[in-house]
Amino acid sequence: MERKINRREKEYEEKQSNSEGSDQDKDCKTSLITLNVGGYLYITQKQTLTKYPDSFLEGVINGKIMCPFDADGHYFIDRDGLLFRHILNFLRNGELLLPEGFRENQLLAQEADFFQLKVLSDAVKSRWEKEQLASRETTFLEITDSHDRSQGLRIFCNAPDFIAKIKSRIVLVSKSRLDGFPEEFSVSSNIIQFKYFIKSENGTRLVLKEDNTFVCTLETLKFEAIMMALKCGFRLLTSLDCSKGSIVHSDALHFIK
């Protein structure tokens, strides 16, 4: 008799746990929403789409705004499907995070306005304005002789971060080839000055060591600059002094993205 009661109790407990599990599954499924944005399907949670009250997506999900459905019963929004990933990432993260080299700020700002996300719209427009300002400011780095500034190399670029990167790289290369004589050059904000520029038949070289051997050639630094720029996605616009006839013999390099 006790065994039968125990069996019934176990069966009842199993049914209860199964019903609770099915309810949780239903809640989980109802919280997931599929959007068709310009032909691209996105699956996310309801709480993500309703994060910002009075936004377009919050209005659609909560029935305040009428939205058509596609053939599969998904919400259909006739907007840029590729750019919507950035809208969704903003809703998930609460901040604007864009891939390096992103160039569609104006389009993304329009999408943010459509989805009535003012915080995102302001962030995109602020980013756009900073990039516009930076593109107008040409930054330079000058590698020169402390006694004769006409001898050396000038690197021009509209990206201050790249100038800082290439500057640190050139200092590192120079130190490694000076073999314990870092005092042979000085560094300021936009200028690296070498104490000695030695001219030879093979071209201008930097720094004469005590044993009269040449190290750290200017040509080496030019190639360092060019290779770094190409790897970072820049292109060599032109040699600013074309009278030399070759990039290797030019006095200036101009990079742009």
Q: Closest Cα to residue 106, out of 83, 81, 85? A: 83
CATH fold group of domain 32-134: Potassium Channel Kv1.1; Chain A (3.30.710)
| pTM exceeds 0.75 for this model | no
Mean pLDDT along residues 104-112: 94
What are the tens digits of pLDDT across the range 66-85?
999 999 999 999 999 999 99
More confident call, 237 vs 209: 237
Q: Return the domain boundaries, the chain.
A: 32-134, 140-256
More confident call, 99 vs 17: 99
What the block records as the tokens of 184 is 């042979």
More confident call, 251 vs 117: 117
Three-state secondary structure along the chain? CHHHHHHHHHHHHHHHHHHHHHHHHHHHHHHEEEEEECCEEEEEEHHHHCCCCCCHHHHHHCCCCCCCECCCCCEEECCCCCCHHHHHHHHHHCCCCCCCCCCCHHHHHHHHHHCCCHHHHHHHHHHHHHHHHHHHCCEEEEEEECCCCCCEEEEEECCHHHHHHHHHHHHHHHHHHHCCCHHHEEECCCEEEECCEEEECCEEEEEECCCCCEEEEHHHHHHHHHHHHHHCCCEEEEECCHHHCCCCCCCEEEEEC
pLDDT band at 98 (very low <50, low <70, confident <90, very high): very high
What are the tens digits of pLDDT across the range 212-250?
555 556 677 777 788 888 888 888 876 544 455 556 567
What are the tens digits of pLDDT across the range 143-177?
776 666 666 778 888 777 788 888 887 777 666 65
Q: Report the pLDDT value the prediction gives residue 70, as an integer from 0 to 100.
A: 95
pLDDT band at 179 (very low <50, low <70, confident <90, very high): very low
With a cut of 70, say whether residue 27 has pLDDT above it. Answer: no
Q: Report the pLDDT value the prediction gives residue 6, as an integer from 0 to 100.
A: 53
